[in-house]
Amino acid sequence: MPMPSFRTSLRGLLLAASVALASGCDLQQDIDVDLPEFPPQLVVECYLEPGQVPQLTVSETVPYLSAPTPAVPADVTAVLTGPSGQRETLRFAPGQNATTKKFFTHTGRRALPIRPGDTWQLEVTDTKGRRVTGTATMPAIVPIDTLEWRFNNEPAPRRKALVLMTFQDPPGTADFYRFQIHRNALSDSLRALDREFEDQLFDGQRIPMGTSYEFSPNDTLLVTFYHVDKPYYTFLRSIDDAQDANGNPFGQPAQIQSTVQGGIGVFAILSYQRRKIILR
């Protein structure tokens, strides 16, 4: 009868030791963690666009382990104040934006005549004494210089296109940008690319921005190029950091950097150019 090798014997001993250790030890331990209680805060989200009726979403923070159902307070008053002192009180009329599919709680009655350089203020209050304020200035529009697409040399079933955009960065200023591509519509679920960046390394240069070969022939794309202010850029980056850290046991917790005071959220004026292309 052949003798077992040293490697086989060692493997058997290690397996037996592992089984004995697992059977002899309780590897599960329940730990009760007392989470501190914080008073609910107002959460606001408002993006103004030139020539558009303003829309605002107001909700309320909930405890960390509660059901992920947004708490929508109905006792909120929201007022926008323009550069010349004009006031626009938003009415409570929950609905859904037909273009972006985002839900809102408050809306205005008229389109706002906003121009680059204009500063608007937001004040949100409720009957509990909570008050959230924000200030935003519309950046100048930085236009899209060129926009093109190129197909690879693969056969038809694997034929894909990349998209290439260029723009001229204004010299001598700190500028911040957001580059988005959506398929067919501006819904978040159809967003194919979303990238934020600053001009620290290429101030005053003509900058190319591109994608990989990921789009199919006859795709309809909405390409949007935003020129954003620093608070909104910092908010966007903090959202990315929080999403990266969520569920990562080795990642550091990330805090959302709000652009408002007295609560959580964002108030910004969007400055952008958008083009629609069909990849043919």
Question: pLDDT value at position 71?
Answer: 80
Exposure string of 151-162, with b = 16+ CB inside 10 Å and e = fewer, is: eeeeeeeeebbb
Last residue of a domain, one of 90, 120, 137: 137
Q: Same domain for 236 and 148?
A: yes
Q: Same domain for 88 and 150?
A: no
Do the domain assignments include residue 178? yes
Supply the mean pLDDT for the chain: 88
Question: How far does the chain reach from its first CA to its final CA, in angstroms?
Answer: 74
Last residue of a domain, one of 73, 102, 137: 137
Q: Same domain for 98 and 161?
A: no
Provide the number of structural domains found in the chain.
2
CATH classification at residue 190: 2.60.40
Q: Same domain for 237 and 165?
A: yes
Percent of the chain whose predicted confidence (pLDDT) is above 70: 81
Do the domain assignments include residue 81? yes
Q: Which residues contact 235 (CB under 8 A, 6 or more apart)?
A: 256, 257, 258, 259, 266, 268
Do the domain assignments include residue 35? no
Residue 245: give the domain boundaries: 144-249+272-278
- DSSP-derived secondary structure letter, 158: G
Do the domain assignments include residue 187? yes
Structure tokens at 111: 């389109």
Do the domain assignments include residue 12? no
Other beta carbons within 10 Å of 234: 17
Do the domain assignments include residue 244? yes
CATH classification at residue 70: 2.60.40.10
Do the domain assignments include residue 71? yes
Other beta carbons within 10 Å of 196: 19
Mean of pLDDT values over 247-263:
80
- Indicate the pTM of the whole model: 0.82
Do the domain assignments include residue 19? no
pLDDT in tens, 137-193: 999 999 999 999 999 999 988 999 999 999 999 999 999 999 999 999 999 999 999
Q: Same domain for 172 and 87?
A: no
Last residue of a domain, one of 118, 137, 156: 137
Question: pLDDT value at position 253?
Answer: 64
Stretch among 198-202, 242-246, 272-276 having the lowest mean pLDDT: 242-246
Q: How many angstroms separate the CA atoms of 174 and 186, rounded?
A: 28
Q: Same domain for 132 and 149?
A: no
Percent of the chain whose predicted confidence (pLDDT) is above 90: 73
Q: Same domain for 126 and 210?
A: no
Q: Same domain for 110 and 151?
A: no
